[in-house]
Chains A and B, each alone.
Chain A
């Protein structure tokens, strides 16, 4: 069985700085795989490489066995590799329904239709309404997103990625900045994501990582320190010193 997402010797240099240092990852289909590491470990660079925002200096990336190293960000999305952002990236003056409608139309290949009014495709609207309801946004379909409270915007951030029907979903600190009472909504949503969707979770919050992930990769200084199951990582002394130790000082 091929892995959902693999990288081979991925390297990214910025001038003299090595941001990603020979990273070889293999993420199994349907996994709940967490990428953790202290600040500056290269998590953001890695996610940008995986999604095609950045081009690697060397190395390869495979999605479902297909080499996607050279293809653009939006083509990777069409092949099922979708991400969310640590800082909300939503369309401020569109409504949640319009935003999801865009993602769904695009997936169906109707995103460039110019001869019909947006919102007249019943299939697209029905799917958007269903997804938004599932994400607890059914009551704010028509409110411009910049008027939504932060917690709802955060849910929309994830819903927007989910509407692209990902095979591999990269979640970049999904609960970042969300107040305690609304975290439960997010965690509930994360846990309800279909089991066949491969999830890569980039997260600082250890509680969330240990309760959600089944496998963990620890990044330090751009390279992989170790990889293992939740129990293995929790016991690993090196991880404690570089990561948990530092975390405790914060």
Chain B
């Protein structure tokens, strides 16, 4: 009996363990800096986009909320950090904390609007809130700088030690560290009983209620966490580029982050990061060919992904990764614990 319980516990926690390829992945991302020192700014943009996509995954992949307005939280975070840096509170850590709190507050308040209603209603409400924030930022141009952007940000050195350099070295290490820490936290969250209950609510909220799980509190919690993550991504973007303009709240940003996540894989912690890497490579390559019409190719990728079936593509990719890292052992795709 005890043996079978221990066995069951081992089986249940098996897929949640830190694997070799994850270590490799993070070491490789560190190694990029000395290998391509002049690309550090680009790398930090990728890390930030990866974090933003991870934040979307928390609600879309793990809780099933389709949002067309996730840029709202990115934008709030960016403006909070940007305004603080402009008005003398340029400490990056403080900026991140304030941005996370600000975005979380707005996420918490607006999450109650998403509890009732269908996918379509949620889509509209998230879109509507992002548009309202965009309009507000546009109207209060005296504070936000409007379309021209926020002028005169002064970002202090990270932890008072590492000042931001022109090549983006500090920017990259700083963004990568935050991404790593928040990924570890997200790992904890999605593999915990709380994370499991989110998947239950997503799969069947009727039954989740019937075994005593309150869908509403779970959705409010994860939406707030996700908003905080997006706020941090926005703040990182503001601090590393010293630039915030209306663009941070644009509809395009909400649509792009969805594409990033879908490319990399929905409901998988590394999906957002992988997606950000592929997206940036694509952008780099395609924008070189037709810089003005880059949008066309985004659209084409979306259409093709849906027609081919993004889930299928990714489960093959993941089986491949699994086969490489766990040589010889055959894994059933369903046991990877995602849908």
Instruction: State yes or no: do A and B touch (Cβ within 8 Å).
Output: yes
Q: How many residues of B contact A (CB 8 A)?
A: 38
Query: Which residue of A92, A93, A110, A160 is within 8 Å of B211 (Cβ)?
Result: A160
Q: Is the CB of B211 within 8 A of A163?
A: yes
User: Chain B nearest CB: distance from A119 CB in Å?
Assistant: 3
Q: Mark B281-320, 1 if CB is under 8 A from A, else 0.
A: 0000000000000000000000000000000000000000
A110-144 residues with Cβ-Cβ distance < 8 A to B are: 110-120, 122, 125-126, 128-129, 141-142, 144
Name the residue among B189, B199, B212, B221 with the largest chain A CB count within 10 angstroms.
B212
A85 to B206, CA, bound (A): 10
Which residue of chain B has its CB nearest to the CB of A73? B209
A202 to B60, CA, bound (A): 37
Segment at the A interface, from B3-11, B170-178, B252-260:
B3-11
A124 to B110, CA, bound (A): 35
Residue A183 lies at the interface, judged by CB distance under 8 Å to chain B:
no
A88 to B12, CA, bound (A): 23
Q: Is the CB of A107 within 8 A of B212?
A: yes
User: Chain B nearest CB: distance from A135 CB in Å?
Assistant: 15
Residue B196 lies at the interface, judged by CB distance under 8 Å to chain A:
yes
Q: Is the CB of B194 within 8 A of A112?
A: yes
Q: Is the CB of A90 within 8 A of B211?
A: no
Query: Which residue of B8, B191, B195, B199 is within 8 Å of A129 (Cβ)?
Result: B8
Q: Is the CB of A161 within 8 A of B210?
A: yes
Q: Is the CB of B192 within 8 A of A91?
A: no
Q: Is the CB of A78 within 8 A of B193?
A: no
Chain B residue contacts of A51, Cβ below 8 A: 210
Q: Is the CB of A117 within 8 A of B192?
A: yes
Q: A73-B209, A77-B212 are in contact. Are A125 and B200 (CB under 8 A)?
A: no
Which residue of chain A has its CB nearest to the CB of B221? A112
Chain B residue contacts of A115, Cβ below 8 A: 188, 192
Q: Is the CB of A111 within 8 A of B210?
A: no
Query: Which residue of B13, B203, B221 is within 8 Å of A93 (Cβ)?
Result: B203
Q: Is the CB of B211 within 8 A of A77?
A: yes
A55 to B206, CA, bound (A): 15
